[in-house]
C-alpha cells in the first residue's frame, strides 16, 4: 500500500463489506474504508492474508474483522452477511471486488476455467448483492460498488474470454440493480480499472511494461490507491445522485 496522500471522506458509523479483501486492490480499498471511519468486514478465502488486512486497519485506529467465505457458495454468503449484521447491526457499503483469472485462448479454454472465473467474479457479486438488498432496502440506504474492468464491456482482451465476460456481466448487473433499488436511496455503480500496478504487472517484465504504457495517454500504470479514492467517494453521502454508471480508472486508455 502506498504512502501517497489520498482523498479522505467521513464514513463514521458506516459498515462496509469488501470481498477479495486479502490482497491487492481489495486490501487497499478495505484499509482505506477503515481509515475513513467505516467498520470493515474483510471477506476472502485466505485466513492468513485476511489477518494482515485486518491488522492494517486496526493498527491505524480502525475497526475490522475477517470473514472466511467462498463467494460462489450461496449458503456461505448468506451466513457472512447475517454475521456482519448481527455484529454491527447493519451493512451500508458493499464492494464486490473478489475476482480470479484463468487465462487462455477460447479454443483451448476448459469448462472448468470458464466456470471458475464466472462463478467467482460474477456469481459472487450477484450472491452478495442479493444478500444485502433487503437489509439496505429496510434501512433505505446503501452503496453497492462493483469492481469491473476495462477488459469487460469496454474493450476486449485476447486470452481472457472468461474474465472479460464476467466483468461485462458485472456492468449489466450494475445497471439493472441500480434501476431496481434507486428509489430506496441505494446506489449501484461500477468501477472499471485499467492496468494497475501490482505484483502481477511487475512480474511481466520491463519490455511488456513499455508496451502497456504506450496504450495509456497518462504514460504510466495506475495505482491501487487511485481506485480506492473512487471507492471512497462512491461510498460517501456526496455520491448520492450517482447511480448506474461505469467509471473507468485507466489513465485515458479507453478514451
Q: Indicate which residues carry an active-site annotation.
A: 163
Decide: 113 and 161 in contact? Cβ < 8 Å.
no
Rounded Cα distance, 99 and 242, in Å: 24
- DSSP 8-state class, residue 244: S
Decide: 192 and 154 in contact? Cβ < 8 Å.
yes
Here the cell at position 165 is 465476460
Rounded Cα distance, 5 and 122, in Å: 32
H or E segment at 191? strand 186-193
Decide: 122 and 174 in contact? Cβ < 8 Å.
no
Residue 213, C-beta contacts closer than 8 angstroms, at least 6 positions apart: 219, 220, 221
Residue 240, C-beta contacts closer than 8 angstroms, at least 6 positions apart: 185, 187
Chain CA centroid to CA 236, Å: 16
Amino acid at each position: 500500500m502506498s504512502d501517497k496522500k489520498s482523498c479522505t471522506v467521513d464514513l463514521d458509523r458506516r459498515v462496509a463489506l469488501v470481498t477479495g479483501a486479502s490482497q491487492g486492490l481489495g486490501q487497499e480499498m478495505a484499509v482505506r474504508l477503515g481509515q475513513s471511519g467505516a467498520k470493515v468486514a474483510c471477506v476472502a478465502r485466505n485466513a492468513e492474508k485476511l489477518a494482515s488486512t485486518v491488522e492494517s486497519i486496526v493498527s491505524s485506529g480502525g475497526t475490522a474483522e475477517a470473514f472466511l467465505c467462498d463467494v460462489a457458495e450461496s449458503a456461505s454468503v448468506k451466513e457472512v452477511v447475517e454475521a456482519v449484521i448481527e455484529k454491527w447491526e447493519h451493512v451500508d457499503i458493499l464492494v464486490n471486488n473478489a475476482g480470479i483469472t484463468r487465462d487462455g485462448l477460447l479454443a483451448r479454454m476448459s469448462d472448468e476455467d470458464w466456470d471458475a472465473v464466472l462463478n467467482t467474479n460474477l456469481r459472487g457479486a450477484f450472491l452478495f448483492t442479493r444478500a444485502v438488498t433487503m437489509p439496505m432496502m429496510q434501512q433505505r440506504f446503501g452503496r453497492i460498488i462493483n469492481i469491473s474492468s476495462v477488459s469487460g464491456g469496454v474493450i476486449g482482451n485476447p486470452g481472457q474470454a472468461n474474465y472479460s465476460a464476467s466483468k461485462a456481466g458485472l456492468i449489466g448487473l450494475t445497471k439493472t440493480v441500480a434501476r431496481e433499488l434507486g428509489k430506496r436511496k441505494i446506489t449501484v455503480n461500477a468501477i472499471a480499472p485499467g492496468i494497475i500496478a501490482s505484483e502481477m504487472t511487475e512480474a511481466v517484465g520491463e519490455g511488456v511494461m513499455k508496451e502497456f504504457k504506450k496504450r495509456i495517454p497518462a504514460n504510466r500504470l495506475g495505482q491501487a490507491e487511485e481506485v480506492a479514492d473512487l471507492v471512497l467517494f462512491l461510498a460517501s453521502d456526496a455520491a448520492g445522485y450517482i447511480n448506474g454508471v461505469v467509471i473507468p480508472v485507466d489513465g485515458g486508455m479507453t478514451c
